[in-house]
């Protein structure tokens, strides 16, 4: 499923609710999710949370659940790919062009 800026222009609470619904859709129906966004928060939630069907809510993806999720972040700038990495490997990187976004 492709989502193009699903939270653009929304307040933080509504944006979080939308992302939680995308996570639920991804995990319950086991769909591939491609999220295009300018919001770091959205990518962080998609990459690091999962839907717990027993509790009916999203929760942090723990070790086993995170391994099952294959998340790749790609950052474009001026139409060029400047970063392609797994979530855990790029958060601590020092990338000058990324910091200025």
Residue 69 is predicted with a pLDDT of 61
50 vs 68: CA distance, rounded Å: 10
Please state whether the predicted TM-score (pTM) of the whole model is above 0.75. Answer: yes
Residues in the chain where the model's pLDDT stays below 50: 92
Residue 85 is predicted with a pLDDT of 78
41 vs 45: CA distance, rounded Å: 6
């Amino acid at each position: 499923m492709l989502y193009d800026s699903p939270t653009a222009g929304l307040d933080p609470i509504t944006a979080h609710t939308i992302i939680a619904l995308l996570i639920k859709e991804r995990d319950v129906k086991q769909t591939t999710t491609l999220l295009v966004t300018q919001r770091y928060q959205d990518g962080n939630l998609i990459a690091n949370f999962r839907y717990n069907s027993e509790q009916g809510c999203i929760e942090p993806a723990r070790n086993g659940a995170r391994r099952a999720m294959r998340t790749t972040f790609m950052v474009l700038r001026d139409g060029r790919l400047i970063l392609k990495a797994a979530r855990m490997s790029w958060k601590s990187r020092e990338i000058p062009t990324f910091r200025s976004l």
